[in-house]
Amino acid sequence: EQAYVFTRRSRTVERIPASIPVTDEQLDDVPAIEDFLNQALGGDIVRRLDLQCYAGNGTTPNLAGITDHADIQTQAKGADPVPDAVYKAMTLVEVTGRAVPNAVVFHPTDWQDVRLLRTADGIYIWGNPSEVGPEFIWGLRVAKSDAQTLNTAVVGDWANYSLLAVKRGIEVQTTNSHGTFFKENLTAIRAERRLALAVYRPEAFHAITAMQTP
């Protein structure tokens, strides 16, 4: 028979907005401009969410990102090659975090250094350049994000110990009642999404820092 002790925690649902003014003439005369702006604003929100999930400081209107949790494990790469440092982080997630790592997040520039690793004979370790390279390391899926801090990677059990709670999907609204927009023939297009990020066990994540040398 197991016994679990739960501690109440709360995370504020935050909104991620993006907006742009557009003239009435543009809406009338430029084909598909409204659809383009709606799509572009939605993409801006996704990129902002990407940053917030990693580095948000938890102060409204920012989400509390993974690195905002003081209890995540952190260790410098040191003299280890990056693959060795990743494997050691996986082990710490398993042993200290009591979790099973399922993905690692790299900055694209850091993953580039790994992807271009070669043997002393000049053979690419991650596969021939003429072939589609594997986006995996030690069996973990690699997620690339420029929101990730350069020279840092985060290994974690994302599937089981983090949750992106979506209160409301992307909604797009328009109005000309902002400020002097009505008399200036301007319309504001605003896209917005409301979410919260919960991390159930910070120890299930491990940040590898100081990865300047692969």
Q: Are 212 and 36 in contact (CB under 8 A)?
A: no
| Span 46-92, pLDDT tens digits | 999 999 998 899 999 999 999 888 899 999 999 999 999 999 999 99
Beta strand ranges found along the chain (DSSP E)? 14-23, 73-76, 103-106, 136-137, 140-144, 153-156, 162-175, 186-199, 205-209
Average pLDDT, the chain: 92
Are 137 and 102 in contact, with CB atoms under 8 Å apart?
Answer: no
Is 155 within 8 Å of 208 (Cβ atoms)?
A: yes
DSSP secondary structure letters along 124-158 = BTT--TTSPPP-EETTEEEEE-TTSPTT-EEEE-H
What is the token pair recorded at 184? 């200036």
- pLDDT tens per residue across all 214 residues of the chain: 888 888 888 888 999 999 999 999 999 999 899 999 999 999 999 999 999 998 899 999 999 999 888 899 999 999 999 999 999 999 999 999 999 999 999 999 999 999 999 999 999 999 888 888 779 999 999 999 988 889 999 999 999 999 999 999 999 999 999 899 999 999 999 999 999 999 989 999 999 999 875 4
